[in-house]
Amino acid sequence: MLDGILVINAGSSSIKFSLYASEPGAEPKVASKGQVEGIGTKPHFIAKSLDKKVLAEKYWDDPKTSHSALLGHLIDWVRSHHTDVALKAAGHRVVHGGTRFSAPTVIDEVVLEEIERLIPLAPLHNPHNLTPIRALRELFPTLPQVACFDTAFHRTMPRIAQMYAIPRKLTDEGVVRYGFHGSSFEYVAHALNRVAPDVAKGKVVVAHLGSGASMCGMVGGKSQITTMGLTPLDGLVMGTRPGRIDPGVLLHLMQQRGMSVTEVDTLLNKKSGILGVSEISNDFRDVEFSDDPRAKEAMDLVIYRIIQETGSIMAAIGGIDAMVYTAGVGEHSPHIRGLVSKALAWLGIELDEAANDKDALVITKPTSKVKVLVIPTDEELMIAMHTRKALNGAL
């Protein structure tokens, strides 16, 4: 019998899942994955094999179908389809862990209350992360659950890199730079030990580029600086978020334009980024090669900010040995990688055009002073590994 870990990544209208199975002590291997989408409208469950073959599918007509009912169906399917797997635990992606959670944590009522207390720091994420946790506790109270926090990987940043220049009282109360995409950055650090041990212990700049995007400067596989801050709004230009912005802009919008806090929140989280600049789409694929001059300007801004943040990170960690692209856009956009690499050619980056076009592991020439790699992220695997570790190897 194999030990099973169910990894759950919940959003506002979907619950993505991956089932990992392994012999005790072995690295978890994904057995199947899928999602429940359309929550709140027309729930739809779909499960797929590793070769993307549909294994099961179900629709619910009632838009008010509860998370408990949907998760109950998911668990029932896992147990009936994977008869050689004993479900031992569930691991959850939780976006914000505050200053308290610096490692994956077994969930109990105290932990649940603390995650709920952190909702104001991640109002678009933590509430949705909590919902399946509570539903599973109600359905299967004896099933161990582990919270894996996006912010935890960045707790190794020096205190000075976490601080804002605000009254110390606010800093002591937790108004600091946290950073996100921790599971993704940690997976890259994990993978580098295998695919590029020559740079794994060096100074590495990692670009997690997707609808949400951030960068991280690592030394010896540990986070030293990252572009996101107290919330996921800081740093790079994203699908609907502006990234770095003068706080005075927000004061101007409220004081001179009469915008409410709610309106500014909506502007920053849902109407800015490449959507706001291009006025076409929040999807990089729609904007990247558009002939519309607004789209070109949006992409120019995306590239400019990546270049700018790369320089800032390099200055903070004292140089660069390698650069890594990951996540949906980072893994599949030779155009963006090529433009950034050419702009950073002064570092000694020599792009291999053919390798870049193929999304190869290494996209620079052997003579390049800085190695540039493309590493597909696997946040779910990190969550599965952490879940097992958090339960003291009992699985």
Catalytic residues: 150
CA gyration radius, the chain? 21
At a CB cut-off of 8 Å and minimum separation 6, what does 94 contact?
115, 126, 129, 130, 147, 148, 149, 150
| DSSP tag of 181 | -
149, 101 Cβ separation under 8 angstroms: yes
CB-based contacts of 192: which residues, under 8 Å, 6+ apart? Answer: 199, 200, 204, 221, 322, 324, 373, 375
- What is the spatial distance between Cα 303 and Cα 321, in angstroms, rounded to a whole number? 21
How far is residue 299's CA from residue 278's CA, in Å, rounded to a whole number? 9
Q: Find out whether 236 and 284 touch, Cβ atoms under 8 Å.
A: no
Letter string b/e over residues 291-309, b meaning 16 or more CB atoms within 10 A of that residue's CB: eeeebeebbebbbebbeeb
CB-CB contact of 288 with 335 (8 Å): yes
Q: Distance between CA 203 and CA 222 in Å, rounded?
A: 10
Q: Smallest Cα–Cα separation from 20: which of 42, 3, 43, 40?
A: 3
Q: Are 249 and 268 in contact (CB under 8 A)?
A: no
- What CA dihedral angle connects 287, 292, 297 and 302, to 10 degrees? 10
What is d(CA 236, CA 245) in angstroms, rounded to the nearest whole number?
A: 10
Residue 141 to residues 71, 89, 145, 280, 341, Cα–Cα distance (Å):
13, 11, 10, 46, 51
> What DSSP string describes 110-122?
HHHHHHHHTGGGS
